């Protein structure tokens, strides 16, 4: 079940990864290989099986509604590539 170039482009777009043409070809091959490998899961009939979404049989893990100090503005901006007026600066959206 080979992955088409359109599909690779689409996935790369969803994942916001700029790939070179070589990378796209390589990934198409490798992903197809892996997807073919995982195909064997269909040998199992899981119609009646409940998915194991949460490992621990735990519910309602809650915390109190209390405001506590977090990071300082300096800390939260300390690794930022570009800052202006205490805010992260990014190029245009559209």
Partner 1 sequence: MSKEFETVIGLEVHAELKTESKIFCSCSTAFGAEPNSQVCPFCAGFPGALPVLNEKVLELAIRTGIALNCEIPEYCKFDRKNYFYPDLPAAYQISQYDQPVCINGYLEIDLDGEIKRIRINRAHMEEDAGKLVHQGDITTTPFSLVDLNRCGIGLLEIVSEPDMRSAREARAYLEKLRSILLFAGVSDCKMQEGSLRCDANISVRPAGQEELGTRTEIKNLNSFRSLERAIEYEARRHVEAIEDGEELLQETRTWDEEKQVTRSMRSKEEADDYRYFPDPDLPPLRISRERIEEVRRQMPELPDVAQERLVETYGLPHYDATILTTTPDYLEFFDRVIKIYPDAKVVANWMMSELNKYLNQSNLEISDCLIKPENLVEMLQLIDDGTISGKMAKTVFAEMFNSGKRAPEVVREKGMVQISDEKALSAIIESIVNGNPKVVEDYRNGKEKAFGFFVGQVMKATRGQANPAVVNKLLKEKLK
Partner 2 sequence: MDLYKLTVHELQDKLLAGEISSEDIVKSLFSRIALVEEKAQAFITLCEETALEGARRIDQQDEYGGIKGIPYGLKDLFCTRGIKTTCASRMLENFVPSYESTASKLLNEKGGILLGKLNLDEFAMGCSTEQSAFFPSRNPWDWERVPGGSSGGCAAAVAAGEIPFALASDTGGSIRQPASYCGIVGLKPTYGRVSRWGVAAFASSLDQVGILSRGVRDCALILKIIAGKDPLDATSADIEVPNYCAFLDGEVKGMRIAYPREYFQHWVTESIRTAVMKALRKFEELGAIVEEVSLPHSEYALPAYYIVAPAEASTNLARFDGVRYGLRDDEADNVIDMFSLSRAQGFGPEVKRRIMLGTYALSSGYYDAYYLKAMKVRRLIASDFAKVFRDFDLIVSPTTPTTAFKLGEQIDDTLTLYMNDALTVPVNMAGLPGISIPCALDDGLPVGMQLIGRAFDEATLLKAAYAFEQNTDYHRLTPVPGGGINE
Q: Which residues sit at the interface with partner 2, rule CB under 8 A?
A: 3, 7-8, 10-12, 14-19, 23, 27, 30-31, 33-35, 37-44, 46, 49-56, 58, 61, 63, 71, 75-76, 78-82, 88, 90-94
Answer for the pair 39, 1: CB distance below 8 angstroms, yes or no: yes
In the range 3-32, which residues lie near partner 1 by CB under 8 A? 13-14, 16
- CA 5, CA 21: separation in Å to the nearest integer? 10
Q: What are phi and psi of 83, to 5 degrees?
A: -130, 145
Residues making contact with partner 1 (CB under 8 A):
13-14, 16, 53-54, 56, 58-68, 70-73, 76-77, 84-94
């Amino acid at each position: 079940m080979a992955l088409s170039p359109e599909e690779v482009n689409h996935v790369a777009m969803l994942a916001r990864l700029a790939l070179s043409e070589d990378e796209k070809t390589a990934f198409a091959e490798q992903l197809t290989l892996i997807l073919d490998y995982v195909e064997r899961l269909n040998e199992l009939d899981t119609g009646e099986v409940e998915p194991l979404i949460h490992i621990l049989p735990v519910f309602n893990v809650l915390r109190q509604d209390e405001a506590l100090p977090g990071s300082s503005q300096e800390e939260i901006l300390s690794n930022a590539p570009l800052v202006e007026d205490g805010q992260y600066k990014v190029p245009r959206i559209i």
